[in-house]
Chain A
Amino acid sequence: MGRLYWKFFLFFFFAQLTAVLVVSLAIGMVNDKRERERRLIDSAPGAKTMVLAAASTLKISGITSLKSLLDIWLTEPMPQLYAVNEEGVDLLKRNLPKGINKESLAALTTDTDNRAIQQIHADDGHAYWLFVEPRNKRPPPTYFNGVKIQQNFKYLFPAMPLIVGIFVSLIFAAMLAWYFSKPIKQLRLAFESAANGNLDARVGTVMQGRRDELADLGSAFDVMVSRVSQLIQSQTHLMHQVSHELRSPLARLQIAIGLIKQQSTQSDAAHQMNEKISTSLNRIETESVRMDHLVGELLTLSRLESGVTALQKERIDLNELLQELVEDANFEGATDNIKVEYKPNLPIIVAAQSDLLQRAIDNIIRNAVKYTPTNTIVELTTTVNQANTSVTLSVQDAGAGVDENELDAIFKPFYRTNTTETVHGYGLGLAIAKQIIESHAGVVTAANIPNAGLLITIELPMIE
């Protein structure tokens, strides 16, 4: 369940809960008012009988008979009946029970359910409310979870409807949240899959049977992905064709050169062959090989950039890989007395396609060896971060560094420093390295270190 699910869920739940609370509170308040009014007088069956008796006495025998009846009742140890006229004055001039006045009596009389109060017109021209005083002045306290609470709290928050309301709103909120967040999750998974290069990702099948805006979004996604996939396919196809076509003439050229050289070494004509022609032939051969390499590098780069070929990752110990590469680099740097130093670390396991990662790091080391002056050292260090989740490899040369504004540009294809000095290469090494590192979820950056040279840093995620 994603964040979105919980957000939907909580919003729906709170909305429904608020609605339930407000409604039950309103109902509770109405009930409570009624209850409180009712409790001002006694509404037990005994009291109703007394009210009925008093009412008949008043209707049949008149006000004086009622007065003598009340006088008799007054001597009895029982709840007393009051007869209050429209001015709020009791027939026996007694003080009215707490909370009783003419307004509350009028309100009680309008409550049709309440038969414990009656208003009767008497023969003296007044209308009398007849009711019995409540047995207890206060309602008995109720205990809830051991805490004493007011009885009327129960009426303010009706427990049963509330519990049912919460339960039902939980279910509905969960269902609604699921209904909205599920297609979004499916879409997100499809997007992720497509972003990782799987252009066969479709959501139409998993969203089948749904007919709304989210389903439309899903089918729009499917259309987009198949279009992109088509474009990439045709581009890759074109790339293959172009490379094939470019290489055919190169291949023929190389064989033609080979033939001339072969014939010249096998016949006596060799010795008569102009030295200049033979030098030129060697030059042509070298250049054709160079051109071939260039086409190859370009192909590699564009293939990496399009990300069409899925990586075949395996567990690689970066430490061992570096030791191998450093050995080779030292061998090559020996002619200029350039040393490549690396202090072996503990095993550093990364998930990578081994030939690609080797190539990336090799390109960066070679680049450093190329630009570092003779008799200097190229230093490699690896540091594993605290959480053991990533490793940083830094390659430090002793060269002149790069213009601060161009630090990012060195990773672009065909970038050359503005030096007149010719350095062999095609300007694609670092671009390829960057593509490889990024396709392995890594980051590569360059920085100038004052009085030292260029520092290239690679950060790669580790496994375990």
Chain B
Amino acid sequence: MDKILLIDDDVELVEMLKEYIDLEGFSASTAHDGEAGLQVLQTDSYDLVVLDVMMPKLNGIDTLRRIRQSSNPYSNMPVIMLTAKGDDADRIVGLELGADDYVPKPCTPRELVARIRAILRRAKPQANFAKTITLNELTLMPEQRRVEWSGVPLVLTSTEFNLLEVLVERAGNVVSKQMLSELALGRPMAKFDRNIDVHMSSVRQKLSAAAGGKQLIQTVYRLGYQYLK
């Protein structure tokens, strides 16, 4: 059973949400502020975190920043941000810090569970994809969800890994944003969605830093992205 941690300061909401998510076949725990959430994360291991942006003590953005610190054993665990709708700034900052997806709040619980399922499905190593892919200096190990550049490991979030995997599997070909959204995020691309672009910019930065400034992923205007062979 997948374990999910809900971090949100709205106690009543979290309790109802926990009930709903439990009934959908997950095991949910709750925390009511960022600091409490981080403590829970240290004592127990979870498969996914749902994180509200607006919280007292430690807000969602700072909590995410702490989670993503590379010293943590859980630094690349999947995170879904709950953002106030229309607050693009929060959303973009969240994605840039490595949130895997965001759900505008308020949302129907059905929608949230669908996102959780999509991300968990992608985040788990899949038996039929367990082959290591090697392309020049790049080595992709889907079974461990690890990436190495010339033997040096690259720290990617779950969604970033998915995006890179999709591109590397089709290296040399242009992959559309719609396709990337469906394969890597597990959902069709929404209107005005900048999600893929933000994640992709992060992947490119990390990859380029590891490859000594080489740009391996190219943006093809209007079409999508391409991993250069």
Contacts and interface: CB of A to CB of B under 8 A. Distances in A.
Interface of A: 240, 243-244, 247-248, 250-259, 262-263, 266, 285, 288-289, 292, 295-296, 299-300, 303, 309, 320, 328, 355, 358-359, 362
A382 B26 CA distance: 53
Nearest to A266: B23
B170 interface: no
A328 B104 CA distance: 22
A252 B19 contact: no
Interface string B142-155: 00000000000000
B23 A247 contact: no
Nearest to A249: B106
Given A254-B106, A292-B106, 11 more contacts: A240-B84, A243-B84, A251-B105, A251-B107, A252-B10, A255-B108, A255-B109, A262-B109, A296-B104, A303-B86, A355-B192
Nearest to B52: A251
Report, nearest first, the 3 A-B pairs whose CB atoms are least far apart. A251-B106, A258-B109, A355-B192
Contacts of A257: 108
A328 B191 contact: yes
B106 A320 contact: no
Contacts of A252: 10, 12-13, 16
Nearest to B13: A252
Contacts of A263: 23
Nearest to B109: A258
Contacts of A258: 20, 108-110
Interface string B1-41: 00000000010110011011001100000000000000000
B85 A292 contact: yes
Nearest to A253: B106
A417 to B, nearest CB: 26
A255 B16 contact: yes
Nearest to B54: A244
A256 B16 contact: yes
Interface string B81-125: 000111011000000000000001111111000000000000000
A206 to B, nearest CB: 30
Contact of A248 (B13, B89, B107): B13
B23 to A, nearest CB: 6
A247 B84 contact: yes
Nearest to B197: A354
Contacts of B54: 244
Contacts of B20: 255, 258-259, 262
Interface of B: 10, 12-13, 16-17, 19-20, 23-24, 54, 84-86, 88-89, 104-110, 191-192, 194, 222
A250 B106 CA distance: 7
Given A244-B54, A252-B13, A259 B109 contact: yes
Given A251-B105, A263-B23, A320-B222, A355 B88 contact: yes
Contacts of A299: 85-86
B16 A247 contact: no
Contacts of A296: 85-86, 104
29 contacts: A243-B84, A244-B84, A247-B84, A247-B85, A250-B106, A251-B13, A251-B105, A252-B10, A252-B12, A255-B13, A255-B108, A258-B20, A258-B110, A259-B19, A259-B109, A262-B20, A263-B23, A285-B108, A292-B106, A295-B85, A296-B85, A299-B85, A299-B86, A300-B86, A320-B222, A328-B191, A355-B88, A355-B192, A359-B192
B110 to A, nearest CB: 6
A117 to B, nearest CB: 97
A247 B16 CA distance: 16
B140 to A, nearest CB: 31
B85 A254 contact: no
A247 B106 CA distance: 6
Nearest to A291: B106
Contacts of A303: 86
Nearest to A320: B222
Nearest to B89: A309
Nearest to A353: B88
Contacts of B191: 328, 358, 362
B177 to A, nearest CB: 12
A259 B16 contact: yes
A199 to B, nearest CB: 17
Contacts of B106: 247, 250-251, 253-254, 288, 292
Nearest to A261: B110
A320 B223 CA distance: 12
Contacts of B107: 251, 254
Contact of A255 (B17, B24, B88): B17
B91 to A, nearest CB: 11
A296 B91 CA distance: 14
Contacts of B24: 262
A218 B158 CA distance: 53
A265 to B, nearest CB: 10
A359 B222 CA distance: 18
A42 B191 CA distance: 104
Contacts of A247: 84-85, 105-106
Nearest to B9: A248
A247 B191 CA distance: 22
Given A262-B23, A303-B86, A309-B89, A254 B192 contact: no
A330 B55 CA distance: 42
B14 to A, nearest CB: 9
Contacts of B10: 248, 251-252
Which of A258, A285, A309 has the most chain B CB atoms closer than 10 A to its own CB?
Answer: A258
A247 B109 CA distance: 15
B74 to A, nearest CB: 26
Contacts of A288: 106
A365 B23 CA distance: 42
A251 B108 CA distance: 8
Contacts of A250: 106
A266 B89 CA distance: 39
A262 B86 CA distance: 28
Nearest to B106: A251
Contacts of A251: 10, 13, 105-107
